[in-house]
A and B are shown apart, each in its own frame.
Chain A
Amino acid sequence: MIEEFNIILAGVGGQGTILASNILGTAAIMAGLNVRGSEALGMSQRGGAVVGHLRIGPAVYGPLVPEGKGDILVGFEPSETLRNVTLLSRDGLVIVNTRPIVPHTVSIGLSVYPSTDEILGKLKQYAQVVAFNATELAEKAGGVITVNTVMIGALAGSGRLPIKNEEILKAIESCVPKATIAVNRAAFKLGFEKAQEILRS
Chain B
Amino acid sequence: MGVIDFLIKGSHGDMGLLMGNEAIARGAIEGGVQVAAAYPGTPSSEILDTLAEVANHFGIYVEWSTNEKVAFEVALAASYCGLRAMASMKHVGVNVAHDPFMTSAHIGAKGGLVLVSCDDPYAWSSQNEQDNRFIARQAYVPVFEPCDPQEAKDMTAECFELSEEFHHPIMLRPTTRVCHARANVVLGDVPKEKRGGVYERRPDLLMYDARGARINRVRMVQRFEKIREAVDELPYNNLELLDGARFGVIGCGLSYNYVREAIRWLKLDGKISLLKVGTTYPVPEKLITRLLKTVDEVLVVEELEPFVELYVNAIAKDANPSVKVHGKDLIPLTGELSTRKVTEGLAKATGSKLPLNYSSLDKFQEESMPLLPMRPPVLCPGCPHRASLYAIKVAAKKVAASDYAEGVKPIFSGDIGCYGLGYLPPIEAIDSAICMGGSIGLANGYAHVVQAPIISIIGDSTFLHAGIPALINAVYNNAKVMVAVLDNDTTAMTGFQPHPGSGMTATGLKTTRVMIEDVARGCGVKFVEVVDPNDIRKARKVVESALKHEGPSVVVFRRRCELLELRDKRKRGEEIIPFYIDAEKCTGCGICINPFGCPAIIKRDERFFIDTILCSGCGVCSQVCPYKAIARQQE
Contact = CB atoms under 8 A, between A and B. Distances in A.
Q: Do the two shown chains form a genuine complex with each other?
A: yes
Interface of A: 12-13, 21-22, 25-26, 29, 34-49, 54, 59, 61-64, 66-69, 79-80, 82-83, 85-86, 101-108, 110-114, 118-119, 122, 125-126, 135, 144, 174-175
B382 to A, nearest CB: 12
A68 B180 contact: no
Given A21-B182, A39-B180, A108-B425, A83 B17 contact: no
Interface in B252-274: 254, 256-258, 260-261, 264
Interface-central residue, A35, A54, A63, A114, by most chain B CB under 10 Å: A63
A54 B378 CA distance: 26
A71 to B, nearest CB: 14
A101 B378 CA distance: 13
Contacts of A40: 124, 180
Contacts of A43: 42, 124-125, 377
A46 B356 contact: no
B635 to A, nearest CB: 17
B264 A59 contact: yes
Q: Chain A at the B interface: mostly helix, strand, loop or mixed?
A: mixed
Nearest to A80: B375
B79 to A, nearest CB: 30
A174 B2 CA distance: 7
A96 B19 CA distance: 27
A67 B340 contact: yes
A185 B591 CA distance: 43
Given A45-B377, A59-B264, A119-B371, 19 more contacts: A29-B17, A48-B377, A59-B261, A62-B338, A63-B178, A64-B177, A67-B361, A79-B371, A79-B375, A82-B368, A85-B368, A86-B361, A101-B611, A101-B614, A103-B374, A104-B378, A107-B603, A107-B604, A110-B425
A13 B604 contact: no
A47 B183 contact: no
A48 B377 CA distance: 4
A59 B343 CA distance: 16
A175 B338 CA distance: 30
Contact of B375 (A36, A48, A122): A48
A85 B373 CA distance: 15
B377 to A, nearest CB: 3
Contacts of A122: 367-368, 371
B339 A26 contact: no
Nearest to B1: A174
Nearest to A62: B257
A12 B178 CA distance: 23
Q: Give 7 closest A-B pairs by Cβ, nearest first.
A: A48-B377, A111-B373, A42-B42, A61-B257, A42-B125, A46-B377, A63-B181
Nearest to B563: A45
A49 B373 CA distance: 11
A156 to B, nearest CB: 18
Interface of B: 1-2, 15-17, 42-43, 46, 124-125, 148, 177-178, 180-184, 254, 256-258, 260-261, 264, 338-340, 343, 356, 358, 361-362, 364-365, 367-368, 371-381, 418, 421, 425-426, 493-495, 563, 593-594, 597, 599, 601-604, 611, 613-614
A54 to B, nearest CB: 8
Nearest to A112: B373
5 contacts: A35-B17, A43-B124, A66-B339, A101-B614, A111-B372
A169 to B, nearest CB: 16
A47 B42 contact: no
B596 to A, nearest CB: 11
Contacts of A112: 373
Given A42-B124, A66-B338, A108-B594, A118 B613 contact: no
Contact of A102 (B46, B343, B602): B602
Nearest to B147: A61
Contact of B613 (A41, A83, A144): A144
A61 B261 contact: yes
Contacts of A62: 177, 254, 257-258, 261, 338-339
B49 to A, nearest CB: 11
Given A36-B182, A103-B599, A63 B148 contact: yes
A66 B418 contact: no
Given A45-B380, A64-B339, A107 B257 contact: no
Contacts of A35: 17, 182-184
Contact of A48 (B254, B358, B378, B593): B378
Given A36-B182, A105-B373, A105-B375, A42 B17 contact: no
A107 B593 contact: yes
A13 B613 CA distance: 13
B182 A66 contact: no
Contact of A47 (B177, B378, B604): B378
A104 B597 contact: yes
B15 A29 contact: yes
A86 B365 contact: yes
A29 B178 CA distance: 19
Contact of B338 (A64, A79, A101): A64
Contacts of A34: 184
A105 B373 CA distance: 7
A22 B368 contact: no
